[in-house]
Amino acid sequence: MKVLGNCNITGIGSLPLNDVSASHNLIKETFPLIPHWPQLPKLGESEGFINQYLTPLIDIGLVRVVEGKTPYFDTTRADFTDLLTEFYSLYLEAVEGNEAALARFGFADGSAKGFYSFTQRVQDSFYAEAEIIKGQVSGPLTLGLQVTDSNKKASFYDDQLRDVLTKTLALAGKWQSKKLLELGLPVIIFIDDPGLYSLGSSTYITLTKEGIINELNQVIEAINSTGALAGSHTCAGTEWPLLFSLDLAVVNFDAYEYFSSMSVYIKEINEYLAKGGILSFGIVPTSEKLLQETTASLVALFEQQVDILEQKGVNREKLLQQVLITPSCGTGSLSEELATLVYKTIVEVSKAIKEKYNL
């Protein structure tokens, strides 16, 4: 889809606002072609990157939530095995087409105010210029490293718990995709998995490419099965060929801080572009470093990066047609003022690039 390329823009997801209407106004003003639903962690823990996607596990009792702490699998429960059986029964019902079972993997009542208000506003033509709408779901590695067992060991290292988390995220992505597709527009869902930075790190030597590919593929396939597109977002360096090898319409990376980690994979970039993939540059920093930049300096940085890729063998024209521009990460942890500056800056950067290259 051309709207995903040509240096058009969208956001990663989170905003530090506690006013739902203000968040939609900002998104509409900034990303009219590719609006995203706003993740609003300032509204409470149920709106956060982790808790939002654990609904069925919390409801069943497999995961326990304690205020102020990261949720964890309550593996010391005497009936934990019975609860696992209940989960897999629910999962199978959802996979076999039971819509009520699939709905259990959606956002809990009272949470995801940004999502539910977004769907209503799309229905009400608030986002009248939208050509594709964007959602997001947490990635299995990130969630698996954050959510622990009762002994505070990361659940990703436990085959059973990892499988439960991955299947939960896959159906959360499927449910969200179907809900957004009901609005009558194309849909892309970014799998936000910043934990992928740990792949290849000496601190996480037990993580394997094969295991991560298997988990990511489950989420990707669930999203794609609905007719939506799957994309990925990682706000650090990782082994990018792994993501290029998957059925992802968009691979988003932090181009401001981690361009060098991407630029060594020229063969893989060319192969990804050749199959129609979109390389998404997170060129606008989501930190106070933005205060040291201008629209002109960020455009110059982007041009320098495009020059480097061209010199290494990437076709400039093809690349520019298959580039999406985003902030380097979500803005949920920033001040409202800085987050607003991020959004305003990305508009200016995209406009300058598009004018220069006649896109």
What's the CA gap between 238 and 261, in Å, rounded?
7
108 φ, ψ to 5°? Answer: -65, 150
In CATH, what class is 2-357? alpha beta
Half-sphere exposure of 72 (CA within 13 A, CB side): 16
Half-sphere exposure of 359 (CA within 13 A, CB side): 24
Q: How many CB atoms lie within 10 A of CB 131?
A: 16
Q: What is the pLDDT, as a whole number, of residue 313?
A: 97
Sorted by sequence, the CB contacts under 8 Å of residue 247 that are 6+ apart come out as 217, 220, 221, 224, 230
> Mean pLDDT for each 10-residue chunk of the chain (359 residues)?
93 95 98 97 86 93 88 95 98 97 92 94 98 96 92 92 97 98 98 80 63 92 98 90 96 96 96 97 97 97 98 97 97 96 98 94
Q: Which residues of 49-87 are buried (b: 16+ CB within 10 A; e: fewer)?
A: bbbbbbbbbeebebbbbeeeeebbbbbeeeebeebbebb
Taking CA atoms, 195 is separated from 143, 228, 235, 253, in Å, by 8, 24, 9, 13
Q: 3-state DSSP call for residue 36? A: strand
Tokens of 254: 């932090």
Angle ∠(296,298,301) on CA atoms, nearest 5: 110
Q: What is the pLDDT, as a whole number, of residue 51?
A: 87
Length of the chain: 359
Sorted by sequence, the CB contacts under 8 Å of residue 132 that are 6+ apart come out as 1, 3, 4, 33, 34, 185, 186, 187, 188
Sorted by sequence, the CB contacts under 8 Å of residue 82 that are 6+ apart come out as none
Type of residue numbered 201: S
Q: What is the pLDDT, as a whole number, of residue 239?
A: 87
Burial class (CB in 10 A: 0-12, 13-18, 19+), 303: middle
Report how many helices (DSSP H) and strands (DSSP E) the chain contains, helices first.
Answer: 14, 9
In 3D space, the residue among 292, 286, 279, 289 whose CA is nearest the CA of residue 325 turns out to be: 279
Q: Is 200 left (phi over 0), alpha (psi -120 to 50) or beta?
A: left
What's the CA gap between 273 and 303, in Å, rounded?
18
Residue found by looking up tokens 């003003």 in the block: 29
What's the CA gap between 357 and 336, in Å, rounded?
32
Q: What is the pLDDT, as a whole number, of residue 238?
A: 86
